[in-house]
Amino acid sequence: MKIVCYKDTILKAINSVVKAVASKTTMPILEGILIQTNDNEIKLTTYDLEIGIEYVIECEVKEQGSTVVNAVMFSEIIRKLPDTEIHITLNNQNLLEIECEGSLYKLATMSPEEFPELPKIEVENSIEVDQNVLKNMIRKTIFAVSSEESRPIFTGCLFEIENSKLTLVAVDGFRLALKSIFLTKQSNDFKAVIPGKTLNEVNKIITDSFEPIKIGVSKNQALFEMDNCKVVTRILDGEFLNYKNVIPNSWETRIKVNKNNIQDSFERISLISASSIEKEKKYPVKVQVDIGKVIISCTNQTGDAKEELFVSTEGKNLEVGFNPKYFLDSLKVIEDEEVYIEFGTSISPCLIKSIEKDDYIYMILPIRLKED
């Protein structure tokens, strides 16, 4: 195998595929990148048995062949080489020679026959969206995916297509994030729960462009295809939360507030809430709604803080406690200038919603406040 390529071209491919390299494994082959030539292209493949990524680039192939090389070592060497042509050769001793200007490295390789094949996916249903649209949808939901392995289904994000409307839903037991768009093309109804880890990696690969990405699903696998890159992943088994039944459809108290103003208030209050003196304790922030204003406060051994905002209010006065992080995670991804925040009782979920659209909803469960 002999190939010649430019550093920036191969480095972009390496940076995309290393996201599916196994970090903790008893199989050294999974720590490698499979390099295969095909006419004047090379394909780089990684697979950790959960997520697999293929990336194809054009380059000068002087001699066809294939090999597997340790991903970390290969990527670090390429990253640190000068920005020019790189010559990569598999020599007679099965060492991968990497040559660039005055630099020469030789790396041990592994047999490409030992590298596991990516799952062959018989796509049953698929949709196509712009990459920037998917990137935005993932950004607005991924933070609410659970990290608790005891409930594996919630470590993923629900993709639901219904009446040509795509909805992404993430939930972790304390909050829920929902973002939806209408597709430009008709599509069959289907749903699949994609692992949060996969979506994080897909989000790093896709660009903020109008280039399309195709998402296809089979019974237990999903496929993301874009440009010259392909990502395959397993679909999580289990019954996802019936989110339509848990999102309140009425409120007793509602405020209309400038998004940046309330975000700034929560960020300042959280300095007291996340007390460095008692790191193991999380103090709730108290939200008090009175006529024409909302008061956000917190008291603990570090000190106390209070923020008062003049807002438009409807309904009853209210006092309720929240984890400020959950509010901040939601507010940070909202682009609207103003939002509605809707409350039920002091033990009911709270909703953050757009004033003009119904394309996103954030639901946050309250924390019971201690009696004074």
Under a CB-based contact definition with an 8 Å cutoff, are residues 317 and 291 in contact?
A: yes
Which class is domain 125-240? Answer: alpha beta
> What is the Cα–Cα distance from 311 to 291, expressed in whole angstroms?
9
> What is the Cα–Cα distance from 322 to 202, expressed in whole angstroms?
32
Distance of CA 344 to the CA centre of its chain: 30
The pTM for the full model equals 0.92
Q: At what angle do helices 71-80 and 7-17 cross, to 10 degrees?
A: 150
- Beta strand segments in 209-344, E: 212-217, 221-226, 229-234, 253-258, 285-290, 293-299, 304-310, 312-315, 318-322, 338-343
Residue 157 reports pLDDT greater than 80: yes
pLDDT recorded at residue 7: 96
Residue 283 reports pLDDT greater than 90: no
pLDDT recorded at residue 302: 80
- CA nearest neighbour of 19 among 217, 199, 225: 199
> What is the Cα–Cα distance from 79 to 13, expressed in whole angstroms?
12
**Dihedral sign of CA atoms 156, 157, 163, 164 in order:** negative
pLDDT recorded at residue 361: 98
pLDDT recorded at residue 327: 95
pLDDT recorded at residue 340: 98
Residue 255 reports pLDDT greater than 70: yes
pLDDT recorded at residue 281: 54
Residue 277 reports pLDDT greater than 90: no
Q: How many CB atoms lie within 10 A of CB 298?
A: 24
The residue whose two tokens read 């493949």 is 45
Under a CB-based contact definition with an 8 Å cutoff, are residues 84 and 47 in contact?
A: no
List the CATH code of the domain at 247-364.
Answer: 3.10.150.10
Per-residue model confidence as pLDDT tens digits over 182-195: 999 999 999 999 99
Under a CB-based contact definition with an 8 Å cutoff, are residues 33 and 71 in contact?
A: yes
Question: pLDDT-based confidence at 276, cuts 50/70/90?
Answer: very low
| Percent of the chain whose pLDDT exceeds 70 | 97
pLDDT recorded at residue 368: 84
Residue 365 reports pLDDT greater than 80: yes
Question: pLDDT-based confidence at 303, cuts 50/70/90?
Answer: confident
Q: Where in the chain is the domain with CATH 3.10.150.10?
A: 2-114, 125-240, 247-364
pLDDT recorded at residue 273: 79
What mean pLDDT comes out for the span 6-26? 94
Please state the CATH superfamily assignment of the domain spanning residues 2-114 in this structure. Answer: DNA Polymerase III, subunit A, domain 2 (3.10.150.10)
The tokens of 227 are what?
A: 């440009």
> What is the Cα–Cα distance from 351 to 355, expressed in whole angstroms?
12
Under a CB-based contact definition with an 8 Å cutoff, are residues 306 and 290 in contact?
A: no
pLDDT recorded at residue 369: 81
pLDDT recorded at residue 272: 84
Residue-averaged pLDDT of the chain: 94
> What is the Cα–Cα distance from 18 to 322, expressed in whole angstroms?
38
pLDDT recorded at residue 371: 60
More confident residue, 301 or 167: 167
> What is the Cα–Cα distance from 303 to 86, expressed in whole angstroms?
59
Under a CB-based contact definition with an 8 Å cutoff, are residues 352 and 294 in contact?
A: no
Q: Which helix (H) or strand (E) holds 189?
A: none
Per-residue model confidence as pLDDT tens digits over 17-61: 999 999 888 899 999 999 999 999 999 999 999 999 999 999 999
Question: pLDDT-based confidence at 275, cuts 50/70/90?
Answer: low
More confident residue, 273 or 209: 209
Per-residue model confidence as pLDDT tens digits over 61-101: 999 999 999 999 999 999 999 999 999 999 999 999 999 99
pLDDT recorded at residue 149: 86
